[in-house]
Structure 1
Amino acid sequence: MSTSASIRAHAGMSPDELARATAQAMYEADGCSRALGMELLEVRAGYARLSMAVRPEFLNGHQICHGGMIFTLADSTFAFACNSYNANTVAAGCAIEFLRPVQPDDVLTAEAVEQVLSGRTGIYDIRVTNRAGEAVAMFRGKSAQIRGTVIPIEGQAED
């Protein structure tokens, strides 16, 4: 069992401490984000910020970053933000707008901000910027909570 899998959330944790513990457990289990070189920069309740260097294999036939790579960074950042309450949460829908091309060797940063959390549904806006701080894409995700938790809660049976 990994270190994060043995973390037990308890009533004494602040929302931001729980968000960080949840993010660490998710990151350890997220082979895709790790394989793409995504770095978890900051997580707190309803918020996440990740970065990713644009590698040569991320370029499309126009020699700019493939939109799917930008989407994946935004989607992973969305996942860390919407799971920050330690309730298993998945994407129910999303949309992305590509605003400018991303050049080789750039570094992208995605910042997810919770807009609304109502019942089991949330709306998150993710802004993706380049090294110069220019917006390269805007992503909006709709989340849906499902059964279970990311990390076990002390005294609660797992689903």
Structure 2
Amino acid sequence: MTEHHPKPTAEEAQTLADATATAMWARDRAAQALGMKIVRVQPGKALLTMAVRGDMVNGHHICHGGMIFSLADTAFAYSCNSYNKNTVASACHIDFLAPAREGETLEAESIEQSASGRTGVYDVTVRTADGRTVALFRGKSYRISGEVIAGLQTAATSC
């Protein structure tokens, strides 16, 4: 017989998403080093920003695609881990649509399209501050064992 757990309220789900983002950010040295900022994380969604610095441009003096990918991948990570279940990427694809330039601030918005069992699909749009779309990213997620905040789910279900 399976144990039934009531679905969390919207407020509980948001509290969990916030706590999970805070815990992840404390350990996310790569995102911190790239100067990313979390604007918001909601269940299945995330919005992060990153200013394009001089050390992020390539030989064409535009933002290196790897930097744009890193921002998109990080937004994807925060959205798919927002339920406090350890989740990693199983596949990603990005289409670069327009260049980003030094001094511009990019925002990456990740939105869950599907989540079932251990897998999920997330779409991330990377835009400039004025709304120009720079890249479209699709990430496929896979839930592994454990929690972002260890013991939180166990403590919540044992009450």
With the length of structure 1 as denominator, give the TM-score of the two structures.
0.89
Number of positions where the alignment pairs a residue of Structure 1 with one of Structure 2: 147
Identity percentage of aligned residues: 52
Aligned AA for 2:58?
N
Q: Distance in 2 between matches of 1:131 and 1:125?
A: 19
> What are the Cα deviations for residues 86-115 of structure 1, in whole angstroms up to 9, with x where unaligned?
000000001000000111100000000000
What stretches of structure 1 of length at least 5 have no aligned partner? 1-10
Q: Distance in 1 between matches of 2:131 and 2:20?
A: 28
Amino acid corresponding to residue 28 of structure 1 in structure 2: A
Q: 1:37 aligns with which of 35, 38, 47?
A: 35
For residue 107 of structure 1, what is the aligned residue in structure 2?
Answer: 105
Q: How does 1:5-16 map to 2 (within 5 A)?
A: 14-16=12-14
How far apart are the structure 2 equivalents of 1:95 and 1:45? Answer: 22
**Structure 1 Cα separation of the partners of residues 64 and 153 of structure 2:** 45
CA distance in 1, matches of 2:152, 2:113: 29
2:35 corresponds to 1:50: no
1:155 is displaced (CA, Å) by 7.5
2:134 is aligned to 136
Rounded Cα–Cα distance in structure 2 between residues aligned with 1:78 and 1:50: 10
- Give 3-state SS (helix, strand or coil) of 1:152's partner: coil
Q: Distance in 2 between matches of 1:58 and 1:114?
A: 28
Q: 1:116 to 1:34 in 2, by over 3 A?
A: same
Specify the SS of the correspondent of 1:37. coil
Report the Cα distance in structure 2 between the residues aligned to 1:150 and 1:132, rounded to whole angstroms. Answer: 34
Which AA in structure 1 matches 2:147?
T
Which residue of structure 2 aligns with residue 6 of structure 1? none
2:55 is matched by which residue type in structure 1?
A: E
For 1:1-159, list aligned pairs within 5 A: 14-154=12-152, 156=154
Change in 2 beyond 3 A, CA 1:155/1:51: closer
Structure 2: tracts of 5 or more residues without a match:
1-7
- Give me the CA root mean square deviation: 1.5
Give me the whole-angstrom Cα distance separating, in 1, the residues matched to 2:55 and 2:21: 27
1:154–1:78 Cα change, 3 Å? closer
Say if 1:119 and 1:155 are closer, same or farther in 2 by CA, change over 3 A: closer
Which amino acid counterpart does residue 150 of structure 2 have in structure 1? P
User: CA distance change for structure 1 residues 155 and 73 in 2, over 3 Å: closer, same or farther?
Assistant: closer
Residues 63, 154 of structure 1: alpha-carbon distance in 2 compared, 3 angstrom cutoff: closer
